[in-house]
Amino acid sequence: MVPYWRLSAYYFFYFAFIGAFSPYFTLYLQSLAFSAWDIGVLMSLMQLMRLLAPNLWGWLADRLGAKTPIVRGAALMSLAGFSCFFLAQSFAGFFLGMALLAFFWSAALPLVEALTFTHLGAQANRYGAIRLWGSVGFIAAVLGLGWLLERLPLAAILWVSVTILGGILACAMALPEKREDRHETDRQPISDILRRREVKALFAACFFMSAAHGALYVFYSIHLVSRGYGTTLVGFLWTLGVVAEIVVFLYLPRLFHRFSLRAILLFSFACGVARFLMIGWGVEWLAVVVLAQLLHAATFGAYHASAVAAVNRWFAGRHQARGQALYGSLTFGAGGMLGGLLSGWSWDAVGAGLTFTLSAAFALAGMIILWRSWPFGRQ
């Protein structure tokens, strides 16, 4: 039987932490008088570690033949790393805490994604019904903390986040192990899979999509607050995007039945181009910002679910953990780091409009790569 609620609870707390951390931690750093470059560097450490660490964790999971011990250890050490922020007084202190948090935080999700698909087996289309609880957790955190920050000092971010990390640790301890079934590709070197044209196209395109989201995750809240939006409204806008994402997850089985993964991804990248241009140049109009957030259904929901499903299909059997780790490191890690660092520079150098225009250009580059290099009709 699929341990639906234990997996769902882990996703709930994991993405609740992101809902507390991503929209608001940059505001806390700004309140400590860190520059835009300093904030970009600190937040990009999350992406840098996702570039370097997941492959180590994926290799270790293959060697151990188990994923849950690493997921549990990562949860404990992530909590220890975040606790450094209560003591840090300088950029160096925050850098150390962020590096420790990010190194272990990056271990968890690729392994849990692989574990989820292993438990699901032939029922892979149920992934959306489990993953949507991550979106619910994100909403609960982003709305709740947005409301609290209207009434409490920004330091409340630290206390809420460390509590959620405790919840992640509790859920990690409850996750059941599940070993992959044998697959005909088990004896095939993983390099053979990586040489496939559609695999290279997906990883390259996802690299650019993650780079496109760099400015969003680092500066979106700062962008809105600087234009007069309150933290409650900022939390609502983040929530709106995730509600749209939940709707997509609920309809994933129908989408996967009706459209190819390639078609869903191409549509998602096109929506990314439009979304980042709207955020960059239409922030003065709430209706434009709302529409841009609704496009999160495509630029993250449909995009991520389709990419993960493709990786699960291509990297089967004993290659599953490393496949998900490679996807995370090459796309969210390398791409996110590039996007975060570039946005940290461009925010002060050329302003918000051109920074988000650069994000749109990244999404367009990914769409072109997919269109030209993933052969039509090949899954």
Q: Would you state the pLDDT for residue 291?
A: 96
- Higher-confidence residue: 262 or 48? 262
- Interhelix angle 4-31/231-250, nearest 10 degrees: 150
What's the whole-model pTM score?
A: 0.74
pLDDT digits (tens, 9 = 90+) for 248-259: 888 888 888 899
> Taking residues 79-101, what's their average pLDDT?
92
DSSP 264-284: HHHHHHHHHHHHHHHHHH-TT
Overall fold of domain 8-177+190-373? Growth Hormone; Chain: A; (1.20.1250)
Alpha carbon 204 to its chain's center: 17
Tell whether the model's pLDDT for residue 156 goes beyond 60.
yes
Domain coordinates of the chain in residue numbers?
8-177+190-373
At residue 187 the predicted structure's pLDDT band, cuts being 50, 70 and 90, is: low
- Higher-confidence residue: 328 or 287? 287
- Higher-confidence residue: 288 or 149? 288
Among candidate residues 329, 291, 91, the one with its CA nearest the CA of residue 203: 329
* DSSP E strands, 137-278: none
Contact between 336 and 22 (Cβ < 8 Å)? no
Q: How far apart are CA 10 and CA 17, in angstroms?
A: 11
Angle at 124 between CA 118 and CA 128, to 5 degrees: 110
> Taking residues 32-56, what's their average pLDDT?
82
> Taking residues 214-235, what's their average pLDDT?
86
